Amino acid sequence: MLQPHPILTGLLGRCPRCGKGRLFSGYLKLAPACDMCGLDFSFADSGDGPAVFVIFLVAPIVVILAMVVGAIYPIAPWMHLVLWIPVTIGLSLALLPPFKGVLVNLQYRHDAHEGHQ
């Protein structure tokens, strides 16, 4: 059986084995198991990885947008706060579940486990 692509299924929040079942039972809470194929998700531990990748993506986007807007429209510094704080929070919250899904799917695909001594 051909496995689904881990990045695509991760972005969609789907099971890494069948690609059909839901990966999440809440916003960032993993389901206990896939409702379609029964894969136990207890192996999954993405840690802080999704947050780090989201920061690395969102920060440059917001800084570049702030610089472009500041160059085109001279606005007060407080107005930048009013604009960019909600954009930063919104982008971060929107990107966390897909990034966590991708990391969990890649962890399954590569059979990654914690290191033991």
DSSP characters over 49-79: HHHHHHHHHHHHHHHHHHHHHHHHS---HHH
What is the C-alpha to C-alpha distance for residues 25 and 31, in angstroms, rounded to an integer?
5
The rounded percent of the chain whose pLDDT value lies above 90 is: 85
- Would residue 37 be called left, alpha or beta, if left means φ above 0 and alpha means ψ between -120 and 50 degrees? alpha
pLDDT in tens, 13-69: 999 999 999 999 999 999 999 999 999 999 888 889 999 999 999 999 999 999 999
Q: What whole-number distance in Å separates Cα of residue 65 and Cα of residue 75? A: 13
Residue ranges per domain, the chain?
6-109
pLDDT tens sequence across 63-97: 999 999 999 999 999 999 999 999 999 999 999 99
* d(C-alpha 59, C-alpha 85), whole Å: 11
Which tokens in the block code for residue 68? 């472009």
